[in-house]
Amino acid sequence: MYLDEKVKSLYDKYAKIPLLLYLDALFGRATENSIYRKKAIASLKLTANSIVLDVACGIGFNFKIIESYLKNSGKIVGIDISPESLRVAKKRIAKHKWTNIELVNMSITDYEPRIRFDAILCTFAMEIIPDYKAAIEKIFNLLKPQGRFAMIGMKLSTKISYKLLNPLFEWFAREGGIDLHRNIVALIKSKFNKIDYYEESFSVSITFWVHLNPTNLNITVMNVPFGD
């Protein structure tokens, strides 16, 4: 609980100066038009009737791309522990006149909805959520049979040209409450029996995708190296 409050306090502070979040997203190629977000959300195979959960949705960077599939139909639930982040997300929703988005202020590990989801998304957050193992368990339990989960994670750069900057990236990560040393992909892999692993490149960036196909769930995991 202490760690949850620490993360909440940190991101409440950031959300009070939205420009900082936008600059951070620009630096990390994680804006609402990010190629990473577009690829991850495309893997969810959304339709206009999809019910989507955006875990640790923050100020709502994923909403625009999700709505391009839902077209203000279906349903989006954005959950985040930071009320200040959700306050900014609410303004984004009002600006675009979206009527199908519900915002929930709590940790994903405490969330007990009465519905199950066609698709769940978690972007640039699993390295921040204090009890990430419980978060992953909750996500799997909230998916419908044949549901899909997509995640974008963060990692240190493997490119020679950026490796020297990894200590700086790691310092920035610590300031943002980000733990780059969690073996999240291995945890997800341990739950599934068929794994396809391959590498994709976008411009100068190297992105690792893991597709896991269990009996009734489809998972996509993308790790974005810092500085790429």
CATH number for the domain harbouring residue 24: 3.40.50.150
Task: Identify the band that residue 99 occupies on the pLDDT scale cut at 50, 70 and 90.
Answer: very high
pLDDT surpasses 60 at 197? no
Comparing 11-25, 39-53, 98-112, 124-138, the range with the smallest average pLDDT is 11-25
- DSSP letter at 126? T
Residue matched to tokens 């599939």: 69
pLDDT surpasses 90 at 75? yes
- Domain extent, residue 157, equals 2-225
What are 167-181's pLDDT values in tens digits? Answer: 767 766 676 677 877
| Cα 181 to Cα 40, 155, 171, 186, 192, distances in angstroms | 22, 8, 13, 12, 22
Q: What is the mean pLDDT of residues 95-101?
A: 97
Calpha distance 124→179 (Å, rounded) = 11
Domains: count for the chain: 1
Q: What is the pLDDT at residue 202? A: 31
Compute the Cα dihedral for 36, 39, 45, 47 and give only its sign.
positive
Comparing 19-28, 122-131, 183-192, the range with the smallest average pLDDT is 19-28
Q: Is residue 146 classed exposed, middle or buried when 0-12, 13-18 and 19+ CB atoms within 10 A define those classes? A: exposed
pLDDT surpasses 80 at 150? yes
| Cα 152 to Cα 16, 91, 93, distances in angstroms | 24, 24, 23
Calpha distance 129→222 (Å, rounded) = 17
What are 21-66's pLDDT values in tens digits? Answer: 656 555 555 566 677 788 888 888 899 999 999 999 999 999 999 9
